[in-house]
């Protein structure tokens, strides 16, 4: 039988994570206001999502479009939060993302970008997107190949095509580092993403490369040290996801 943390526990966790963000920003000589928290509600029931909002969360992240849409519709349009799609999106679910989500952190192909652009055109909106890069080479991870310089030209070609789409607004890069017991071991992968951002800013100065979406519950402090502006944190705030019976 699943038991869920009550609102007081979630609020205390939320405040503790915010304090850790501020401490990490200070260590990196950064302004904590430029680091945005996305509370990951993947797999969490509605009562936990409501508790996260009550605790102060203003950005919620979902991995599966349809699961997030169920929550969006259940909460209604006046809950005062942004909904961020942070998981891999199948092309057949592109319209769902365009209709319901504030932005997409996980754009990983030109084909998906073209479908998103078409649906956004039909809906009369622009969709902010992060380009997801696979900087580790792990086969289990999605993203444009970017674990070594051999992928530079193919990545540049893809970005040139995406940047030309009128209804998508590139705002930066996203990655997932490999899991390590020690967060500091993930830091080189976050550093690699920042290096890619700097190179792409030189090649495509007309594109906005302001943001880096990187860092999760186990490693977000290391990501902040390397320049993260969005961190995606679930279990450190909401506890483990419920186990299906």
Mean pLDDT to the nearest integer, 11-16? 97
Label residue 180 by pLDDT band (50, 70, 90): confident
For residue 27, the model assigns a pLDDT of: 96
Q: Classify residue 195 by its DSSP letter.
A: H
Residue 92 has pLDDT above 50, yes or no: yes
Residue 1 has pLDDT above 60, yes or no: no
Residue 196 has pLDDT above 60, yes or no: yes
Residue 176 has pLDDT above 90, yes or no: yes
For residue 245, the model assigns a pLDDT of: 44
Question: What is the Cα–Cα distance from 17 to 244, expressed in whole angstroms?
Answer: 27
Spans of all domains in the chain: 7-234
pLDDT digits (tens, 9 = 90+) for 121-152: 999 999 999 999 999 989 889 999 999 999 99
For residue 242, the model assigns a pLDDT of: 77
CATH 3.20.20.10 corresponds to the domain 7-234: yes
Between 66 and 3, the more confident residue is: 66
Tokens 């902040």 belong to residue: 224
Question: Which residues, at least 6 apart from 77, have a Cβ–Cβ distance to it below 8 Å?
Answer: none
pLDDT digits (tens, 9 = 90+) for 71-90: 999 998 667 899 999 999 99
């Amino acid at each position: 039988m699943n038991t869920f943390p009550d609102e007081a526990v979630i609020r205390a966790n939320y405040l503790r994570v915010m304090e850790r963000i501020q401490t990490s920003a200070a260590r990196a000589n950064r302004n904590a206001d430029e680091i945005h928290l996305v509370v990951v509600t993947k797999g969490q029931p509605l009562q936990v999502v409501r508790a996260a909002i009550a605790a102060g969360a203003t950005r919620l992240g979902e991995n599966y479009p349809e699961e997030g849409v169920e929550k969006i519709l259940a909460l209604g349009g006046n809950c005062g939060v942004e909904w961020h799609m942070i998981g891999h999106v199948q092309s057949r679910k592109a319209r769902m993302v365009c209709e319901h989500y504030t932005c997409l952190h996980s754009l990983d192909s030109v084909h998906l970008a073209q479908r998103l652009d078409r649906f956004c055109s039909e809906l009369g909106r622009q969709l902010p997107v992060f380009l997801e890069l696979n900087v580790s080479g792990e086969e289990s991870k999605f993203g444009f190949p970017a674990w070594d310089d051999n992928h530079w030209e193919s990545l540049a070609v893809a970005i040139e095509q995406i940047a030309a789409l009128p209804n998508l607004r590139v705002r930066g890069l996203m990655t997932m580092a490999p899991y390590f017991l020690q967060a500091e071991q993930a830091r080189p992968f976050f550093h690699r993403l920042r290096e890619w951002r700097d190179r792409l800013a030189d090649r495509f100065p007309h594109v906005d490369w302001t943001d880096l979406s990187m860092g999760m519950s186990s490693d977000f402090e290391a990501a902040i040290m390397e320049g993260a502006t969005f961190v995606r944190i679930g279990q450190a705030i909401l506890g483990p996801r419920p186990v299906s019976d």
